[in-house]
Amino acid sequence: MLTRLVGFLEKASAARLRISIPAGIILSLIGLALALPGTNLPLEGLVYDLMLTARIGAAPLTDPANIVIIAIDDLSLNNPRQSHPEFFSPGVYSYILEALTLGGAKTVAILQNLPSNESRYYTLSEESMWFQSVQTAHKAGLDVIYGFRWLQGRPIRPAPKFMAIMGYEKLGFVNLHSDRDGKLRSQNLTIPDPESTKDDPKNFYSWAYLAARAVDPQLQVFSQINYIDYSGSFLKFSFADIFTKAVDGEVDFFKRHFKDALVLIGPINSLNVDAYPTPLSAFDRHSQGWQVMSAVEIQAHAIRTYLSRRHLLDPGLGTLWFFFLGLSILALLPLILSRPKSAYPLAWFTPALTLIYLLAAYQAFKRFVYLPVVPGLIILTLAQAVYWALRLFETFQVQTASRRALNLYLDPVLSGQIIEDPQILTRLGEQRQVTVFFSDLAGFTAMAETRDTAEVVEILNRYYETMTEAIEQYGGFVDKFVGDAIMAFWGAPKDEPEQAVLACLSALKQNELMTMLNREMEASNKPCLSSLMGLNTGLAIAGNIGARRHKNYTVLGDTVNLASRLVAVNKIFHTTIVVSEATKILAEKVIAFRTLDQVRVPGRQQSLKIYEVMAEAGKIEPNVALAVGYYERALKHFWKLDFTGALTRFEAALKVKPDDLPSRLFIDRCRLYIQSPPASDWNGITSLDLRKTHVEENGATPG
């Protein structure tokens, strides 16, 4: 049989074996991380509660000790014969301790904060009574355990005179900590004493553990975190009744009920100041919360858990990791044993393994070994996901068209579209309506000549990365990077009805990111950048252009040329984003524009209106909107040769927005034409000389 197994394994895919081993290690580490004590997965807590409830019903507890609670209940808080039991009144407690000593109690544990300094609630004579009762109890062999709390990472220790009489070794912390879902399932065994040193390290033990060890001096617990077994109930007496019987000297009552008992004194009242939900708590619809259990009862359950040895065993991180590693490898067996591209012969394996794991986890829990359930289920689920991911990968391997596309194209948008429609690869060219985007960094060439080459490359890469993110965020396709220029387009290879809107939104986003990028540049002592952008919408030829072994999907034509020329227009008008009228018409319902001018660019006889992208519609600042209104009205007067009326309105725009450079440019033009009117055939069209970044209007060069 062993020979057959070896022969079968030899047929398994070597590639899958190489995947399974690191996958198993990674899955086991994920499970270990989720099982760490600080993780506290809420779902894991729910599973723990269900298993605990089932175990309590299946394995009733035999009480290992006579634990009795003296409860500071509502009657005790209102009892006129005693003073402030909730604040530890020494005189009151001394009567009870003396009565318990005479009654033959074995241990008394007080879940109260002993005074840390002089108190106004009692007199020195009451304090002396308490110290005398403690000494009497010690002589009678009765241990007195007392507690303290941690506040803001520091212990609130009792006053030194209390510690001197009662003993450091009888002092335990009473803090309880709930899990993330609010329920209290466990308690820490120790907390390091902040006043200890390397030469004399000390730990504080939990109040419950000290009380349990007082009953059983041989008790040893090695787990730092100990889960509480909430089995059974406890005999309770009212603090007020016990105090009354102690004052009245009813020794027979104390012998009858407290002989050899572990007595806990703590609050159980309607104030619920120190109370927590537990795994057995039911949801209270009236209070819209979980029912709570008082801290002294929780501590009593913890003491019983210690004494009965029913605390869960901690396997340790090393053992737990090996367990998760074995589970991961077992869960990955379908990946190892099934052949590539074959039918899935072990579909039943993971569901069956999941059921087996759940049963095994509960059986281990019944024997007080805790195997984290949810991390184990996550490992099994992820193992299944790894298998199907590999199956999908193997399926995609046969899609040769998609594979060739990924070798030819870098843009993720185009790659995704080719996977959906591989016919894109066969298209030699088609006419499509596109919105073309160009950008350029103003003054970058001069800056690059004065900078280290490595620094220039670093700046460019950071710029490209930032701007590409804004382009792809709005569905654009980055065609190429040329020097410090970017070319992108919308509307190819697939139609995009909102291409103009998306292109304008991308340009605005790039402008916003450029501001953030420049802050980053200033912080690292690098030069600030200024990006100029041009957009145009129209028909273009789209297709795969290039050599046989290297192609580029791109767009060609007059639409592309005009978009590239609009970039330089920004230098003349001192703007950032200039678009053509075709783009403006398609996007004006979403984007706010202003008319810049009607111009003629080199290489084109036909004039066109150009526009500046201001902001998203409805988001333009009030003063900017007012200035744009003046500017637009001024342009109409300018084109009607009313240069005086235009000058007044351009000056009004500049007054509202002093940094509006297009208004300043037209103010200079108006003043020139008022002094020297243009020729009679002047038509208001500005001829742009983009090489010199100035304007020529029918032969005149204003300003």
Residues 86 and 199 in one domain: yes
Co-location of 392 and 486 in the same domain:
no
Q: For the whole prediction, is pTM greater than 0.85?
A: no
Q: Is the pLDDT higher at 472 or at 368?
A: 472
Distance, CA of 26 to CA of 567 (rounded, Å): 51
**The last residue of a domain, from among 257, 273, 308:** 308
Please check the confidence at residue 11 and state whether its pLDDT lies above 90.
no
Q: Does the pLDDT value for residue 689 go beyond 80?
A: no
- Distance CA(321)–CA(680), nearest Å, equals 91
pLDDT band at 693 (very low <50, low <70, confident <90, very high): very low
Which residues partner with 569 through β-bridges?
A: none
**Do 81 and 148 fall within a single domain?**
yes
State how far the Cα of 378 lies from the Cα of 369, in Å rounded to an integer: 20
pLDDT, tens only, 633-656: 999 999 989 999 989 999 999 999
Q: Is the peptide bond before 90 cis (omega within 30 degrees of 0)?
A: no
First-to-last C-alpha distance (Å) of the chain: 97
Those residues whose C-beta lies under 8 Å from the C-beta of residue 353, and which sit 6 or more positions away, are: 330, 331, 380
- DSSP-derived secondary structure for 277-303: --TTPPEETTTTEE--EEHHHHHHHHH
Q: What letters, b where the CB count within 10 A reaches 16 and e where it falls short, cover 40-51?
A: bbeebbebbbeb
Please indicate whether residue 337 or residue 54 has the higher confidence score (pLDDT).
Answer: 54
CA 165 → CA 30, 91, 98, 466, 655, distances in Å? Answer: 51, 16, 16, 71, 85
How far is C-alpha 254 from the chain's CA centre?
57
Residue 506: which CATH number?
3.30.70.1230
In this predicted model, what pLDDT tens digit does every residue of 592-634 receive, in sequence order? 999 999 988 876 778 889 999 999 998 899 999 999 999 999 9
Mean pLDDT of the chain: 83
- The two tokens of residue 135 are 């000494």
Q: Where are the alpha helices (DSSP H) in 333-372?
A: 333-337, 349-366
Find residue 466's DSSP bridge partners: none
Assigned domain for 413 exists: no
Whether 453 and 516 share a structural domain: yes
Is residue 645 in a domain?
no
Shared domain check, 329 and 293? no
Confidence of residue 9 (pLDDT cuts 50, 70, 90): very low
pLDDT at 548: 67
Rounded to whole angstroms, how far apart are CA atoms 618 and 627?
15
The helix (run of H) or strand (run of E) holding residue 540 is strand 531-547
Residue written as tokens 């291409």? 499
Taking CB atoms within 8 Å and a gap of at least 24, the contacts of 231-235 are 231/56, 231/60, 231/61, 231/301, 231/304, 231/310, 232/60, 232/61, 232/63, 232/304, 234/67, 234/68, 234/69, 234/297, 234/300, 235/67, 235/68, 235/69
Q: What does each C-alpha distance from 528 to 441, 447, 512, 552, 693 come to in angstroms?
A: 10, 10, 14, 32, 22
Which of 396, 418, 445 is the endpoint of a domain? Answer: 396
Q: Are 218 and 296 in a shared domain?
A: yes
The reply to whether 18 falls in a domain is yes
**Total residues found in the chain within this entry:** 703
- Going by the DSSP 8-state scheme, the letter that residue 596 receives in this structure is E
148 and 250 housed in the same domain: yes
pLDDT of 350 reads 77
Work out the average pLDDT over 36-62.
Answer: 78
> Are 322 and 295 in the same domain?
no
Helix (H) or strand (E) holding 405: helix 400-408
Query: Could you give the number of structural domains in the chain?
Result: 3
Same domain, 145 and 225: yes
Side-chain-side CA neighbours of residue 238 (13 Å)? 13
Backbone angles phi, psi at 578, to 5 degrees: -115, 135
> Is the residue at 562 inside a domain?
no
Kindly state whether residue 544 falls inside one of the protein's structural domains: yes
What was the pLDDT predicted at 326? 86
* Residue 654 resides in a domain: no
Q: Specify the DSSP class assigned to residue 117.
A: S
Q: Is residue 531 part of a domain?
A: yes
Which residues span the domain enclosing 148? 62-308
Angstrom distance (rounded) from CA 253 to CA 233? 21
Q: Dig out the tokens for 186 from the structure.
A: 């466990």
pLDDT band per the 50, 70, 90 thresholds, residue 501: very high
Look-up: residue for tokens 């379908």?
334
Are 241 and 384 in the same domain?
Answer: no
Same domain, 332 and 390: yes
The mean pLDDT of 85-91, rounded to a whole number, is: 79
537, two tokens: 């919408």
Q: Can you say how many angstroms the Cα of residue 667 is from the centroid of all Cα atoms in its chain?
A: 54
Q: At what angle do helices 317-331 and 14-35 cross, to 10 degrees?
A: 140
Q: What 3-state class would DSSP assign to 43?
A: helix
SS3 per-residue string spanning 555-578: EECHHHHHHHHHHHHHHHHCCCEE
Are residues 367 and 270 both part of a single domain? no
315-332 pLDDT, tens digit each: 777 888 888 888 888 888
| Interstrand relation of 283-284 and 293-294 (parallel, antiparallel or unpaired) | unpaired
Domain contains 321: yes
Residue with tokens 């500049």: 654
The 3-state secondary structure of 8-30, one letter per residue: HHHCCCHHHHHHHHHHHHHHHHH
Higher pLDDT, 18 or 294: 294
Q: What is the pLDDT of residues 418-471, one digit of tens each?
A: 556 656 555 567 889 999 999 999 888 878 878 888 888 888 999 999 999 999
Last residue of a domain, one of 308, 329, 352: 308
